[in-house]
Structure 1
Amino acid sequence: MTHRLPDALSDLAAFLVEAKRRTYAGLDDDATIAAPLLAGSKQLEHRAPPYTYRDIYFGMGFFVGQETVSRDDRVIWSMSYSGGARSDIDDRATLLSIYQFLRQALLAVSVDMPYRGPASLTADDLAYRNDVEGSLERFHGVEVIAQGGVDLYELRYGGGLLR
């Protein structure tokens, strides 16, 4: 069952979907800015006034990060996340294939769940699932990528409106 969001939250959800598709999910590291705020981080940004989206993260095999949305230069929403591939997966080709599939799932983000990817997605022999509780105002979730019933990747996230 989908409930109707108030107009301001509906606008925020639509902006989040656009921003996510125009940064990591759609462009991978091509969306990275040249001079990140934090040394050693990857920083991705998207602007569509009055909103600005920023995603700053560290790491690859295991990574941590934070997304923020500002409206008129005031941060109004944020999501923190951490996770990655299993620690025994250390070859770059396997990591890249997992993250390529992850970006495919993240491109399927929707205004009903503008946090990560859809509830589930399968392609070839990989399966993505995303379990989330809450709403845009306050939420937490976990996403998993598995192959043949074996988890290869897990990420936990949470966030909401700032007040």
Structure 2
Amino acid sequence: MPSIPYDLAAFLVEAKRRTYAGLDDDATVAMPLLAGSKQLEHRAPPYAYRDIYFGMGFFAGQETVSRDDRVIWSMSYSGGARAEIADRDTFFAIYKFLRQALLGVRVEEPFRGPRLFEQADMVYRNEVEGTLDRFHGIETIARHDGASLYELRYSGGMLR
């Protein structure tokens, strides 16, 4: 298995905290590459991070990391709030809570949020298998009473 540079994992943590998790859509670039998408970017040479996604209630997207203008890592994801959630306040509360959980991303598993995050009446869980080289996972948000609110699946790894 190829050695994964620690600095790549550290860069991913920094990029995620400085884009969606930390700034929400305020990190969106004005002219996305794909019409109708949200595109978030962070650069710290030699690395550049890009997250492009479509949708909101249910969304799909892809994150990439380039080193010296060559994409070396990618993660695809899709998911969102449960379709029956129609209350706007609940919808926004779920995504605000998600961003708080995602701020807990760690260098040891720099994919999404921590394994467990709890705040107020919500619980975030992240089940992941693999390493930065090749991984897949599922994150969920539920109420403390067990009612499911959100689910997202993701996978990715080093490109070769």
TM-score (norm 1): 0.95
Structure 2: gaps of 5 or more residues: none
Aligned length: 158
What residue identity is the alignment partner of 2:28? T
Where does 1:18-37 land on structure 2 (aligned, <5 Å)?
18-37=14-33
Identity of aligned residues (%): 74
The structure 1 segments of at least 4 consecutive aligned residues displaced by more than 3 Å after TM superposition are none
Partner residue in 2 for 1:100: 96
Q: CA deviation at 1:72?
A: 0.2
Q: CA deviation at 1:92?
A: 2.3
| Contact persistence 1:61–1:90 (CA under 8 A) | no
Q: What is the RMSD of the two structures over their aligned residues, measured on CA atoms?
A: 1.1
* Secondary structure, counterpart of 1:152 in structure 2: strand
**Partner Cα distance (2:157, 2:127) in 1:** 16
| Residue-by-residue CA offset, 1:99-120 (whole Å, 9 max, x unaligned) | 0000000000000010000000
Where does 1:10-159 land on structure 2 (aligned, <5 Å)?
10-147=6-143, 148-159=145-156
TM-score (norm 2): 0.97
**Partner Cα distance (2:69, 2:58) in 1:** 31
Structure 1: gaps of 5 or more residues: none
* Secondary structure, counterpart of 2:29 in structure 1: coil
Q: CA deviation at 1:93?
A: 1.7
